[in-house]
Structure formats: C-alpha cells, structure tokens
Amino acid sequence: MNILITGGAGFLGARLARALLAAGTLSLRGAAPRRIEQVVLADLGPAPADLAADPRVRSVQGNLLELLARRELPAAGTDLVFHLAAAVSAECEADFDLGMRSNLDTTRALLEGCRALGSTPVFVFASSLAVFGHQPGAPALGVVRDDTLPTPQGSYGIQKFIGEQLVADFTRKGFIAGRSVRPMTVAVRPGRPNGAASGFFSGMIREPLAGERARIPVGRDTPVALASPTRTVEGFVRAATASDAEWGQRTAINLPSLATTVGEMAAALEKVAGPQASALLDWQPDPAIEKLVRSWPGDVAWARARALGLKNDASFEAIVREYIAENPQAVRLSVR
C-alpha cells in the first residue's frame, strides 16, 4: 500500500506517519490488511529525522499547489491520501488570498490529481470544527451534531466547508472514496506557536510548563471542544479503515470531543503543576480573536465517530499529563 500525507512534516502529519509505520499494515476501507510499502510526506519543510531514516518514507518538499501542477503528486499507485495541509484560521483572516490558494485551490487540485489516477483512492480530508459558527443575531449554536447545518463565520471555516462538499461530490462521481472528518481543537501541541487563532489553547499549557509566560486572549468562560493528538490521529486512521457500510453518508463526521472551558483548562494546569504554573498566565482579551473563537461550537456531539468505535479523552488533566509524558524535555516546572 502506498500512502500520501500532505502536511506530512507537520506535527499531526508526522505523528500520523509514525502510527501508520508502527502498525506496518492497514485494512483500507474494510478490506483485508495490506502491508504499507511507502509513505510519502509532502510539505514545505523536510520530514523529521526519524521518519526520513525509515526506508519506507519518501519526503517531497515544496509548495503543494506547484507540486500538483507539475503532476509530481499524487504518484501512480497511491492507494490512500490524508490531506492535512492547510493555512490556519488567523492566517486566512489576515490574508484572504493565501487561504483561498492553500485551502481551496490546493484541495481542488489534489482531488483532480486523485481523479486522474483512475483507481478511486481513499481520500481522508481534515476539515475543521470551524465549519460551524454562531451567526450574529441568531440563537446560540447549542449542541452541534454531525448533521448540524454548517454556518462558518471565518474564511478558514468557509474554505474547509467547500472542501467537504468537493470531497463529497468527487466521491459521488466515483473518482475517490472520500472521508471528511472534523477534528476538534488539538491540544497540547509541542513546539512553537503557529498562526491559528486557537493556538493559545496549547500555548497556555505548553509555555507555563516550560517556565514561560502565556497570553490568553479570551475569557475564562469561553467554551472549547478539545481532543488530544492521540485521539485525533486515531480518528484519521479509522476514517481510512472504515468500510463503506460503516462510514455511511458522504457527509463529514465530527471526531470525538472533550467539552471544557478555558478556565477549567487553567485549573487543570494548576492541579498538575501548581500555582507557579497558573501564575504565568496573562489574561489579556483580544476582541478579534475572542469574537472568532466564541463563534465556534463548544458542545459537539459525535454519534457517527462513536459508532466507529472512537473515544474521546477522559479529561483535560489527562491530556496535560500525556503532553508531559511525551515531552519531558520541554517541561521546566515540577509536576505533581
């Protein structure tokens, strides 16, 4: 089996690649398990050293839209595509053309590349919870379900929703076997902050644990639907392995969610690392970020993911402790 992961050198892309390579085989679309022969990681930067050293990995660097235009990707024989590459929310609000190019034009070009293969590859599209949004003047969103009408309130969410519809139509036409999934906000991400409006959800844990200050641009009562990196990758893989009967409709599914608030996240940090950690949090509201983040749903139902056997995280404290266990070199404070 040959697999392409766009955004493959990024945090989630690399983590997904490691999970696939560790398994060694994959039961694609409910069929018998097949050996994974090659994983192509397409990204602007190089693959992490551990993945680059694996003979089953091929790293392809460059602008994805340009690589697709030159027909360098997807290669003949590609059985499965995980499309994770995207410009993130705050970037798309700041630069409309970047978002349209990275999230709409590139997705369309990748779908056309898969269509040209003529082999109906499985196509797992990482959409976003940002396809849902509270419309000004409308009632509160309430619980968002798999079949809730998307009403995105930002360019990123609109581009992701268009992507979902393209995946559904290419699937209807038989060009691909599309599976669109909506991940929750992923926390805690290691490394440096990215350009996402939701980036502070990781930063408010990561930076204090490293002994650094972190700014929180929203109020304590801000609701958020979260998932750990582990649960998120499980969702990507399960989308690829589900049979057509298990998957059901062509529409996107919500991945498992842990509902919490920013204040509860801060309390979990203090429980794990004490008051010295929570004292490093600077509560400085940013009206633009708060408006965007509060337009996203905080209570997400995920019936279709549950039917596929997926689970959510037990608690945010458990997510924090998982981050500490996986990144001990990044933790400077003593933990309980």
Catalytic residue among 82, 123, 125, 156: 156
Return the exposure string of 164-191: e unless at least 16 CB atoms fall within 10 Å of the residue's CB, then b. Answer: bebbbebbeeebbbbbbbbbbbbbbbee
Is there a catalytic annotation at residue 156?
A: yes
- Output the six-digit token pair for 132: 């849902």
What is the Cα–Cα distance from 65 to 106, expressed in whole angstroms?
A: 5
Backbone dihedral region of 297: left (phi > 0), alpha (psi from -120 to 50 degrees) or beta? beta
At 71, give phi and psi (nearest 5°).
60, 25
List the beta strands (DSSP E) in 144-271.
177-182, 185-186, 214-216, 223-227, 253-254, 258-261
What is the Cα–Cα distance from 137 to 229, expressed in whole angstroms?
A: 34
Backbone dihedral region of 264: left (phi > 0), alpha (psi from -120 to 50 degrees) or beta? alpha
Which sequence positions are flagged as catalytic? 156
